[in-house]
Amino acid sequence: MEGFEVNSIMLRLRHLREYLEELDREFRRLAVNAQVAGQVQRADLDIVQTTIRNSLVASTALWNALNSKGIAFGDDSRVEGA
């Protein structure tokens, strides 16, 4: 192999190594972003689930309060003029 060919191959290898290092940095950045996004998504899911549970508890408490006063659905005995 002539010196020119060797230099050309070495230059290509150096560029390839630099490109691979850049890809590695980009991959790590994307992996961190994906991890953060996953954590945010899990946090959002937890918030939604907690809100649903709280709504169910509140509606059950309201239902029980109305029931204890005799104001249940279909019970017209407490409504004036019924």
CA angle centred on 67, ends 65 and 72, rounded to 5°: 125
Model-level pTM?
0.51
Contact 69, 78 (CB under 8 A): yes
Encode pLDDT of 46-57 as tens digits: 999 999 999 999
- What percentage of residues in the chain have a pLDDT greater than 90? 48
Encode pLDDT of 56-65 as tens digits: 999 999 888 8
